[in-house]
Amino acid sequence: MGDRWQQGAVLDLEITGLNSTGEGVGRWQERVVFVPDTVPGDRIQTRLLRIKPTHGWGKLLQIEAASPDRIQPACIVADKCGGCQWQTVAYPEQLVAKQQQVVDALVRIGGFGDARIDPILPSAPLNYRNKATYPLGCSETEQVQAGYYRKGTHKLINLSRCPVQDQRLDPFLAEIKQDINQQGWPIYDETTQRGALRHLSLRIGRRTGQVLLTLVSTRPRLPELEVQAEAWLQHYPDLVGVMLNHNTKQTNAIFGATTYCVAGQPYVEEQFAGIALRVGPTNFFQVNTEQAEQLLAVILAELNLQGSERVVDAYCGIGTLTLPLADKAKQCLGLEVSKDSVQQAQTNAAVGGFSNVDFQVGAVEDLLPQVSEHLGAAPDIVVLDPPRKGCTASVLRALQALAPAQIVYMSCNPATLARDLKILCEQGSYRLRRVQPADFFPQTAHVECVAFLVR
């Protein structure tokens, strides 16, 4: 058995599942092998690239027999582009893998062997993204390109349409590059750190059709940008604003700290769960509007608010959840570290005529211990929607000290969710009532869930 378990060896495998990073999973004599670009049910040949005693990583050499769940991708560059991992996996099989991801994390990391995990909420599998941000580059013939990086590289795959984004954004993706080309604005080069334009970002209101276009540049000004921006507004009836974001940092962060409105308005209007929202170019807003609404409906049904509750919404962004909760509760307080998002949230509350909601700027761990003073009483419910890394230990301690009757924990990472739930249920006096997974990111391995805890 040992002689074939070595780097470079070629193995025959059957793929039986998908892991949380999107790779196919197969077994070879008690060992687990992870192979990208495979589908459960595929019988394949793989070459081992890296090995450990119990598991290894392989490269797909050939498909001996294709799975019935292997489909023709909706995207012509699906095999090259690093944006989606699962374009070749039939949508029902994607949902199975995501449900399993949540179950595995809760059992393995959280120790929740008997937790109630409801069936995942499916999404429209394509054309769902309300926002897309594309790195810009140059072809060998100096033509401006926009697209996503090839898997595991910084080589740009030029796109003129993308099947997971709202189709109404495709014309912008195809045509704006040509205008940038004609203007002669220099494209930023990562290696030489010269040039100006780094990214093209597009955001659309799903309900309103309004589009916001943002260019990310190392320079705070571009020649003739105002003239070009006005021409774009004339040419595209749905375009409501053109923005320039200034980012000089050598960083993976797409946006810099300052954004200028070049022409039009600095936000798109959106209807979310019947509430009017304004969303700026750099504000966090769930990329799958309809799924966020579906999950909100689950949260509202579970909480069954009677109009007497005090609710804290931690990591509240622009008030996407805060305002629908405030609509049914006595009082709501949103906590958010981004000053821009809080300003937008306050505007959204004012536009919607909400008088029972307030927002505070700062780190959640700093603000959470003082919310009772701010509300005039302890909160009945705390809603959490932290970033992928989950809650810090100090946030969890503050939660246990506050001891709200209910905690609603929304998460885009089942592993950190399971870790935090375990702490709240072991060290606090909480019980996990149920978990509702939801697919916010079809064609990728990401999964969202909401967990309901009661004291």
* Residues designated as active site: 412
Q: For residues 418 and 380, is the Cβ–Cβ distance under 8 A?
A: no
Q: What is the DSSP string of 400-437?
A: HHH--SEEEEEES-HHHHHHHHHHHHHHSS-EEEEEEE
At what angle are helices 414-427 and 91-108 packed, to 10 degrees? 30
Number of helical H runs and strand E runs in the chain: 10, 21
- Rounded distance, CA 164 to CA 144, Å? 22
Nearest to 177 by CA among 128, 142, 132, 227: 142
Relative to beta strand 310-314, strand 448-454 is: unpaired
Cα dihedral 172→74→412→99 (10° resolution): 160
Degrees (nearest 5) of the Cα angle 45, 148, 166?
110
Q: What DSSP element (H or E) covers 151?
A: none
User: At 6, which amino acid appears?
Assistant: Q
